[in-house]
A = this chain, B = another copy of it.
Amino acid sequence: MSILVVGSIAYDTVATPSGQVEDALGGSATFFASAARFFSPVKMVAVVGEDFDAAELEFLRTQGVDTSGISVESGKTFRWSGSYGQELGDAETLATHLNVFENFRPAVPEASRGEDFVFLANIDPELQLSVLEQMSRPKMVVCDTMNFWIDGKRDALLRLLQRVDVLLLNETEAKSLAGERNVVRAARAIGGMGPSRVVVKMGEHGVLFAEGDRLLRLPAYPLEEVRDPTGAGDTFAGGFVGSLAESGDFSPGGVKRALLYGAVTASFAVEAFSMERLVGLNRAEIDARYATLRRIGGWDG
């Protein structure tokens, strides 16, 4: 089954203890597609400015990613600049220039409105709702969000969550959304807000998954070196949604496999800056690391 992703395309300027890049390809839709494409056909809906070099998406198109839903608007492409400290936790945002992204009104192409899987990357929940209103009957709606919307657009977000099957968010966001200090209580509370499944992302500490009373606690892939955490959450989502769309298996086993594939694709993303490691990646490398992670997690001897 194929996946529609709606999100951002950006030029990122990032500094970490390992180095820095300037105006490097980034954005939630880009990172998502760069991971999901290994599992399922992907169609992107996003916006770029006239300064955008379309050739930069060639590595996606060669693997069948449909970029026809990317509109070019007059003005400059979204730019984000951030810096990570020694602990590589949350980035300190140095500058955000929304540029053409400021007036982004996602228009889903006619031919993409029947997709079975929708990934709503982290944008204004009102825009995320507008995407769902354009879709016919997706089998599974997966959604990401952030504190900016939890704090600033809570009502719209709560309306959106009624129509979301799986919510992905990080630990701080989960606690904030649920008004809980404990992450297990937070995940369960969010399950009562609409999404039947909640994935709490904990960075290097993996994920907590909640579905009704059932919990699943899975590790990240333990790396010896992380160079740039940018895009970790969206490449996690890419591997996760990609694997679910590939298998169509929503059983506990299928969800676990998808969560582990998410951990694997995220681990490749953070090993290098921007898309450096993702551009030349192949499925065999992903599957080899998936097998290693299964040994590290104690599922295979």
| A216 and B86 contact, CB distance less than 8 A | no
Q: Lowest 8 CB-CB distances: which A-B pairs, in order?
A: A217-B219, A205-B205, A184-B222, A215-B296, A184-B224, A256-B298, A185-B224, A217-B296
| A297 and B185 contact, CB distance less than 8 A | no
The contact of A301 among B202, B218, B252, B297, by CB within 8 Å, is B252
Does A93 sit within 8 A of B, measured CB to CB? no
The contact of A205 among B185, B202, B215, B226, by CB within 8 Å, is B202
Which of chain B's residues have a CB closer than 8 A to the CB of A105?
none
Bound Cα distance A216, B206 (Å): 13
Bound Cα distance A122, B39 (Å): 49
A202-B205, A205-B202, A205-B205 known; A298-B218 Cβ under 8 A: yes
Which of chain B's residues have a CB closer than 8 A to the CB of A296?
215-217
A203 to B, closest residue via Cβ: B205
Which of chain B's residues have a CB closer than 8 A to the CB of A256?
298
Does A162 sit within 8 A of B, measured CB to CB? no
User: From residue A210, how far is it (CB to closest CB) to chain B in Å?
Assistant: 9
| B222 and A215 contact, CB distance less than 8 A | yes
Which of chain B's residues have a CB closer than 8 A to the CB of A224?
182, 184-185
A17 to B, closest residue via Cβ: B181
A205 to B, closest residue via Cβ: B205
Does A110 sit within 8 A of B, measured CB to CB? no
Which of chain B's residues have a CB closer than 8 A to the CB of A25?
none
Does A47 sit within 8 A of B, measured CB to CB? no
Can you list, as one digit per residue, whether each of A188-224 has a CB less than 8 Å from chain B (1) or not (0)? 0000000000000010011010000011111110111
Residues of chain A having any CB pair with chain B under 8 Å: 86, 181-185, 202, 205-206, 208, 214-220, 222-226, 252-253, 256, 295-299, 301
| B222 and A181 contact, CB distance less than 8 A | no
Bound Cα distance A216, B298 (Å): 6
Which of chain B's residues have a CB closer than 8 A to the CB of A181?
86
User: From residue A219, how far is it (CB to closest CB) to chain B in Å?
Assistant: 4
Which of chain B's residues have a CB closer than 8 A to the CB of A295?
214
Starting from the known contacts A219-B219, A256-B298, 15 additional A-B residue pairs (CB-CB under 8 Å) come to: A86-B181, A182-B225, A183-B222, A184-B223, A184-B224, A185-B224, A205-B206, A206-B219, A216-B298, A217-B296, A217-B297, A218-B219, A252-B301, A297-B298, A298-B299
User: From residue A252, how far is it (CB to closest CB) to chain B in Å?
Assistant: 6
Which of chain B's residues have a CB closer than 8 A to the CB of A223?
182, 184
Bound Cα distance A296, B71 (Å): 43
Which of chain B's residues have a CB closer than 8 A to the CB of A202?
205
Provide a sorted-by-A list of 6 A–B residue pairs whose CB atoms are within 8 angstroms. A182-B226, A184-B224, A185-B224, A202-B205, A252-B298, A299-B299
Which of chain B's residues have a CB closer than 8 A to the CB of A301?
252-253
Bound Cα distance A36, B145 (Å): 44
The contact of A222 among B86, B208, B226, B253, by CB within 8 Å, is B208
